[in-house]
Amino acid sequence: MILKPVISIGAASLLLFNASAQKHEKRPNIIWISTEDLSPHMGCYGDKLAKTPNIDRLAEQGARFTNVFTTAAISAPVRAGVITGMYQTSIGCMHMRTTSYRRSVDNPVQFTAVPPHYVKAFTEYMRVAGYYCTNNNKTDYQFAKDPVPASIWDECSRNAHYRNRPDKNQPFFAVFNWTGTHESQNWNLKGVKTDPRKVILPPYYPDTDTIRLNMAKMYDNVARLDSVVGALIDELEREGELDNTIIFFWGDHGDGLPRSKRWLYDSGLNIPLIIKWPGKIKPGTVDDRLISSIDFGPTVLSMAGITVPAHMQGKPFLGEQGANYLREAVFAARDRVDESYDMIRSVRTRKYLYIRNFYPNEPFAIWVPYLSNMPIYREMLRLDAENKLSGPQKAWMSYSRPPEELYDVTKDPYQLVNLASDHGLASVMAEMRKLYERWTLETGDMGHMNEPELVNMMWPGGKQPVTDMPYFIINSSEDRASKNYRTGGTYSAPMTLGFYCPTHGSSIVYTFEEKANPRWLLYSGPLHLEPGSYSIRVRAVRYGYEDSAELRGSFEIK
């Protein structure tokens, strides 16, 4: 593999920098259209009030998945799991958010989690395989504040786009995240277009004008989402990429409404998932397999023809590596929610939902100031104070919780009747407990740790660890023994240039650009340099750590 002199590196040369990208294998393009805080409120899922013609058409052209569940009912923990293919509870990313941790009221700690050293974003494997990876624009991974480590994405900004790749023949993986369905977009109830009278209320909500209007606003947001999906698909067609691009549409967790978001019922965990894969998925397919959100990354790797790393807890459900996919259960967790501590775990099979409440003396609606902006929640607090709630409405506002919950989801889709004390289901309870206990042990659930101890383990003394500055590894014809350097120099051809960082679990990025915000390339093997002049910048990154200082060098190859 040859690098041209670096004074001006053409776009076509960028693919040649990583040794593993040189094969130019034909791989499918993949686009993720992700949205926030949304249960399957779409026509293709049977919701007659939803106006979603573009999403419905996508389902007609691909597969609609009906039993997909996230590993949490709130965004940041879910997204940490999605990007790594690991349970957030296994990598210390389960609290919402890590930056909300406080040693005391007056002593906040801007903590970021430090996953195990072998854990990488699945996009790093895609970049090594030659993909151009972009994120426009949500991350929220818990192990980094924006900007996220440069090893994860080729581009991560509001302007990130697959069109920006330097070689139009390079396959891309592009994320477009729509925030218009987020919980916060339901706070202002002015100008609602959906008819509130047509809204079907779940039985845990009282029937008031405010609550109907709040849910109608949610449907307005879904309609806007549909127009965004249509625009992205039209853009793919204009770019000539529609027929060779996999479209992957999904939500990060259930509705951004009370008793949905933050709660481990189906209303908080069940999400839409629609995948169009031209030539591979039969149009109009309906897939009812149990699927977890940590399976998304491994599935993308499988669809791209990239071997899924063995440490990933997620499993591919499509592609050659997804042939034997089967889950008997999916698992979810709730831990600290912003300022308030909590710990709940759930196990969902095709027939039952089991929930374990570790804080049974806490009220269902623990204090979460952000939630208090929601009109539905304020309305329920008012009605509760006036003693006007009853049945499942009052149950959700109760001041304590059962230690365990069990629901027959086939007969009780809203999970209203707790069967945990039903003696006729003792064997079911025993099996669900067994599934939970095996999962929590096998996955190393870090939610059992006291958070200050967890923070001190990852950030000793409350100080963020720093990634070591990397070295140049130089091997030239005049000296065949590889050596470590932090400077450049003049060398005889042939020469290979490598990089090394002593920090366990670090990734290395480099660039030949001198501008303030360069495009950082992911290092995966030695660079073979022909005669010429080269200036290079190198950084090392480790999830949860501060980035290394930048290494710079200039090389003259004769």
547: DSSP letter:
P
For residue 190, pLDDT over 60 is answered with yes
pLDDT bracket for residue 488 (50, 70, 90): confident
Q: Checking phi first, is residue 331 left (phi over 0); if not, alpha (psi -120 to 50) or beta?
A: beta
Q: What is the pLDDT of residue 97?
A: 85
User: What is the spatial distance between Cα 331 and Cα 86, in angstroms, rounded to a whole number?
Assistant: 12
User: What is the spatial distance between Cα 326 and Cα 263, in angstroms, rounded to a whole number?
Assistant: 25
Q: What is the pLDDT of residue 104?
A: 57
- For residues 10 and 373, the model is more confident at 373
pLDDT single digits (tens) 396-427: 899 999 999 999 999 999 999 999 999 999 99
Compute the average pLDDT of residues 108-118: 88
Helix, strand, coil percentages in the chain from 3-state DSSP, rounded to 5: 30, 20, 50
Burial 97-110 (b: 16+ CB within 10 A, else e): bbebbeeeeeeebe
Question: Is residue 331 a contact partner of residue 439, using CB atoms and an 8 Å limit?
Answer: yes
Q: What is the pLDDT of residue 484?
A: 64
The domains of the chain are located at 12-89+119-183+242-326, 471-557
Lowest mean pLDDT among 16-25, 127-136, 317-326, 425-434: 16-25
For residue 247, pLDDT over 90 is answered with yes
Kindly state the tokens that stand for 377: 């929640």
Kindly state the tokens that stand for 40: 């399957």
Q: What is the rounded average pLDDT for all residues in the chain?
A: 92
Quick one: fold of 471-557? Immunoglobulin-like (2.60.40)
Question: Is residue 286 a contact partner of residue 66, using CB atoms and an 8 Å limit?
Answer: yes
Q: What is the pLDDT of residue 18?
A: 43
Between the CA of residue 385 and those of 209, 330, 367, 380, what are the distances in Å? 18, 37, 16, 8
Q: Express as a percent the part of the chain with pLDDT over 70.
A: 92
Q: What is the pLDDT of residue 12?
A: 29
Compute the average pLDDT of residues 99-123: 81
For residue 238, pLDDT over 90 is answered with yes
Classify residue 215 by burial, with Cβ atoms within 10 Å: 0-12, 13-18, 19+: buried
Q: What is the DSSP string of 323-360?
A: TT---S-EEEEE--BTTB---EEEEE-SSEEEEEES-T
Q: What is the pLDDT of residue 483?
A: 62
Task: Confirm whether 12-89+119-183+242-326 and 471-557 share one CATH topology.
Answer: no
What is the pTM (predicted TM-score) of this model? 0.93
User: What is the spatial distance between Cα 201 and Cα 422, in angstroms, rounded to a whole number?
Assistant: 28
User: What is the spatial distance between Cα 245 and Cα 57, in angstroms, rounded to a whole number?
Assistant: 16
Compute the average pLDDT of residues 430-452: 97
CB neighbours of residue 383 within 10 Å = 18
Q: Domain spanning 12-89+119-183+242-326: which CATH class is it, in words? A: alpha beta
Kindly state the tokens that stand for 318: 């499509």
pLDDT bracket for residue 17 (50, 70, 90): very low
Q: What is the pLDDT of residue 140?
A: 93
Residue corresponding to tokens 């990239």: 306
The helix or strand, by DSSP H or E, that contains position 307, with its residue range, turns out to be none
Compute the average pLDDT of residues 489-500: 88
pLDDT bracket for residue 109 (50, 70, 90): low
pLDDT bracket for residue 490 (50, 70, 90): confident
Q: Express as a percent the part of the chain with pLDDT over 90.
A: 85
For residue 455, pLDDT over 80 is answered with yes
Q: What is the pLDDT of residue 98?
A: 81
Lowest mean pLDDT among 44-58, 59-73, 112-126, 451-465: 451-465
pLDDT single digits (tens) 297-315: 999 999 999 999 999 999 9
